Chain A
Amino acid sequence: MSILEGKKAIVIGDRDGVPGPAISLCVESAGAEVVYSSTECFV
C-alpha cells in the first residue's frame, strides 16, 4: 500500500521543475486526493 493511499495532498509545482498537474497525476495514481494544485514561478 502506498504511503499516499487515502491521504489528502496539496501540490505546489515549480515552473522550472516539475509542474503541478504532473505531480497531481502521480499523487492521484498513488491513491491520494489532490485538494489543491498549482504551479509557481520563482524566477
Chain B
Amino acid sequence: MNSVIRGTGYPLVHVPDMVLLNGTTQTTERIVNPESEYLKKLGDHIRTYEQACAYYPNQVYIGNYTPEILEEVEFPWYDKPSPVSDRFGKYGEIMPQEEFYLLMQASDEFELLFLEKAFVEKYKPELAKNGIITEAILDRIHEGVELEQIKKQVNEHKAEPLRSNGELVGYVKNAHAIDENLSAHVMLENLVSKASSVLSLLYALKDAGMNPDDVEYVIDCSEEACGDMNQRGGGNFAKAAAETAGLNNATGSDVRGFCAAPSHALTMAASLIKAGTFNCVAVTAGGSTAKLGMNGKEHVNKDLPILEDVLGGFATILTANDNINPEINLDIQGIHTVGTGSSPQNVIGSLVVDPLERAGLKVTDINKYSPEMQNPDVTKPAGAGDVPQSNMKMIGALAVKRGDMDRKDLNDFVSKHGVVGFAPTQGHIPSGVPYLGHARQEILDGKMEKVMIVGKGSLFLGRLTNLFDGISFIVQANEGVEEEATVSRDEIRGLIAESLRDFASSLLESR
C-alpha cells in the first residue's frame, strides 16, 4: 500500500541581524577582509520585515500564491512588491526574528540561550498571539536576564550575540568549555535548525488536520550536525524537535545527504509506511544560518537588497493510504548510483529518464517536474543562472534525444512541465520538496496526475568523495486501495456446514 501526503508545512523566518552575524559569507569576510567595502555597505541593503513579506517568492513559499504567479510578474521580482504581504499563509508564516528568538529559547533544553528581560516582556505577548504556538512552548520561555549579563557573556566569554536592529538582546553560550562541537557558534546553528523544524512540524500537522500524538516516527533531513567531540554527528534533531513540538508518541532519526537529503528522507518515510512498520511518519528540516546572505557580495555589487534574509523550514506528514490524498509511488524511482557519473546529462538521465523508461512512460507523461526550486531572483544576479530552468532544459533535451518530443517543442516543454523557482537558497530546503504542498493541492483539485520530485546533492563538499548524488520519486493522484477479498466468520461457518452436508450426502449415496 502506497503512503500518501497528508499535509505540508513551509514556514520562513526573517532574520536580518543573523544575516550580518551568522552568514558564512559575512563571517568569512570579517576574518579575511574586515575593512571591506562589502561589509561597510551591507547594512544599507537589508530588507525590512514588511519588505520580506511583500516579496512574491516568499508569499509563494508560504502558500498565499501558487508558483504560476511568478510567470505573470515581470522578472526580476525584488523591486515589485506583492499586493499580498500577509504574515500567515496556507502552509506557514513569515515569522519575525524577535519572536523566533523566543521559539529558539523554548527549543533550548540546556539553558544556553538567554534573552534580555524587557525584550521578553515585549515579544512574548506577540508570540502568544500566534495560534500555532502551543501553551507548552510558551511555558518554556524564561523571564529574561539583565543586559549587563548579556554584555559580559558576549564580550568576555565568546558567547554568540543575538541582536535586534543591531541592539544586543541576548546570547547563546557554549555547551562545553573546550569541545568545538558544542561551541556557542554550533549551538546557535543547531538551535536555529531545531526551532525552525519545530515550527515546520506544527504547520504540517495543522495542514494535515492531525494530532501531534498521531505521529509515530520523525525523520530530520536538514544539513546541520549535532553531537560532541566523541560523536560529532551523533544526532538526533528529529527526536529533539519532536519533543518540543509535542509529538509524544514519536521516535525518529536523522538522514543526511546535502541537498538530496529531503528526497532520501521521503523515500525512507514512504518505505516505512509501505512496509507497514509505521502508519504516520513526519519528514522535517529546519533552516541554516550559514547560508544567509551567501550571494550577498554580488547582490550588494549590483545594488540589490540582500535577498537571502530568511531561514526556510519544511515538513510533511505521510500516512498509510487514505484513498484521498496523493500517493508517493516508489515503483518509479530514479537513483544516482556510484557508477552514474557526474555530468549533468548522466545525472538527469539517471534521476528522470531512466525510471520513466523502466515504467514505460514518456518524459512528457509527467505533468510537472520539481528538481531544484532555487529562486532565480537570488541566483541570476550572482552568476549561478536560473537553476530550475537549467534542470528543465536538460530534462527536455533528453526527452528530445529519446524521441518523446520534437526539438521545436523544447521551450514549451520547459514552461509547461517546469515550475518557476521560489525557494530561499537554504541548501536542502529548495531541493525538490518546496513544491510538494502546491503539488498535493493541484492533484487533489484534479488539475494534474503525476509530479516528479528530484533531489540532488553535492556530496563533494564534504571532501570524502567527488561523487554527486540524487534520488527522485513520483507523487501521483490517489488510485484507491484495492479491497482485499476477506471472508467473515459466518461465511466460514456456512462453508464448513455446506461441506459437511455434501460429505454426509455422499456417504448416504454410497450406501
Chain A interface residues (CB < 8 Å from chain B): 14-22, 38-43
Flag if A39 contacts B460 (CB, 8 Å).
yes
Taking the closest CB of chain B, its distance from the CB of A34, in whole angstroms, is 12
Flag if B387 contacts A43 (CB, 8 Å).
yes
Known: A16-B385, A19-B342, A19-B343. A43 touches B425 (CB 8 A): yes
Taking the closest CB of chain A, its distance from the CB of B208, in whole angstroms, is 29
Flag if B458 contacts A15 (CB, 8 Å).
yes
Does B379 make an interface contact (CB < 8 A)?
Answer: yes
Does B23 make an interface contact (CB < 8 A)?
Answer: no
Known: A14-B384, A38-B460, A42-B382. A22 touches B343 (CB 8 A): yes
Taking the closest CB of chain A, its distance from the CB of B196, in whole angstroms, is 19
In the assembled complex, the Cα of A17 lies from the Cα of B259 at a distance in Å of 16
Flag if A43 contacts B342 (CB, 8 Å).
no
In the assembled complex, the Cα of A15 lies from the Cα of B387 at a distance in Å of 10
Flag if A43 contacts B466 (CB, 8 Å).
no
Other contacts beyond A15-B468, A41-B461, A43-B384: 5, CB < 8 A: A16-B384, A19-B343, A22-B343, A39-B342, A42-B379
Which residues of chain B are within 8 angstroms of A14 by Cβ–Cβ distance? 384
Does B295 make an interface contact (CB < 8 A)?
Answer: yes
In the assembled complex, the Cα of A16 lies from the Cα of B342 at a distance in Å of 11
Which residues of chain B are within 8 angstroms of A43 by Cβ–Cβ distance? 372, 374, 379, 384, 387, 425, 427, 430
Which residues of chain B are within 8 angstroms of A19 by Cβ–Cβ distance? 342-344, 468
Known: A42-B295, A43-B374, A43-B430. A22 touches B342 (CB 8 A): yes
Number of A-B contacts (CB under 8 A): 45
Which residues of chain A are within 8 angstroms of B294 by Cβ–Cβ distance? 42
- Within 8 Å by CB of A21, from B295, B342, B427, lies B342
Taking the closest CB of chain A, its distance from the CB of B310, in whole angstroms, is 15
Which residues of chain B are within 8 angstroms of A21 by Cβ–Cβ distance? 342, 466
Taking the closest CB of chain A, its distance from the CB of B237, in whole angstroms, is 21
Which residues of chain B are within 8 angstroms of A17 by Cβ–Cβ distance? 385
Taking the closest CB of chain A, its distance from the CB of B350, in whole angstroms, is 14
Which residues of chain A are within 8 angstroms of B374 by Cβ–Cβ distance? 43
In the assembled complex, the Cα of A15 lies from the Cα of B468 at a distance in Å of 9
Which residues of chain A are within 8 angstroms of B387 by Cβ–Cβ distance? 16, 43
In the assembled complex, the Cα of A21 lies from the Cα of B459 at a distance in Å of 14
Tally B residues with Cβ within 8 Å of A: 24
Known: A16-B390, A19-B342. A39 touches B384 (CB 8 A): no
Flag if A39 contacts B458 (CB, 8 Å).
yes
Taking the closest CB of chain B, its distance from the CB of A23, in whole angstroms, is 11
- Most B CB within 10 A of own CB, among A16, A19, A41, A43: A43
Taking the closest CB of chain A, its distance from the CB of B162, in whole angstroms, is 27
In the complex, chain B residues 468-491 whose Cβ is within 8 Å of any chain A Cβ: 468
In the assembled complex, the Cα of A21 lies from the Cα of B374 at a distance in Å of 24
Taking the closest CB of chain A, its distance from the CB of B338, in whole angstroms, is 14
28 sampled A-B residue pairs with Cβ under 8 A: A15-B468, A16-B372, A16-B385, A16-B387, A18-B344, A19-B342, A19-B344, A19-B468, A20-B460, A21-B342, A21-B466, A22-B342, A39-B458, A39-B460, A39-B466, A39-B468, A40-B461, A41-B458, A41-B461, A42-B295, A42-B382, A42-B383, A42-B384, A43-B372, A43-B374, A43-B384, A43-B387, A43-B425
Taking the closest CB of chain B, its distance from the CB of A43, in whole angstroms, is 5
Which residues of chain B are within 8 angstroms of A42 by Cβ–Cβ distance? 294-295, 379, 382-384
A25 nearest in chain B by CB position: B343
In the assembled complex, the Cα of A19 lies from the Cα of B258 at a distance in Å of 16
Which residues of chain B are within 8 angstroms of A41 by Cβ–Cβ distance? 258-259, 458, 461
Flag if B458 contacts A20 (CB, 8 Å).
no
Which residues of chain A are within 8 angstroms of B384 by Cβ–Cβ distance? 14, 16, 42-43
Which residues of chain A are within 8 angstroms of B425 by Cβ–Cβ distance? 43
In the assembled complex, the Cα of A14 lies from the Cα of B383 at a distance in Å of 11
A24 nearest in chain B by CB position: B466
In the assembled complex, the Cα of A21 lies from the Cα of B342 at a distance in Å of 8
Which residues of chain A are within 8 angstroms of B461 by Cβ–Cβ distance? 40-41
In the assembled complex, the Cα of A20 lies from the Cα of B463 at a distance in Å of 13
Taking the closest CB of chain B, its distance from the CB of A41, in whole angstroms, is 4
Interface 0/1 of B323-346, CB less than 8 Å to A: 000000000000000000011100
Taking the closest CB of chain A, its distance from the CB of B258, in whole angstroms, is 8
Taking the closest CB of chain B, its distance from the CB of A11, in whole angstroms, is 11
In the assembled complex, the Cα of A41 lies from the Cα of B457 at a distance in Å of 10
Interface 0/1 of B367-392, CB less than 8 Å to A: 00000101000010011110100100
Taking the closest CB of chain A, its distance from the CB of B136, in whole angstroms, is 37
Which residues of chain A are within 8 angstroms of B427 by Cβ–Cβ distance? 43
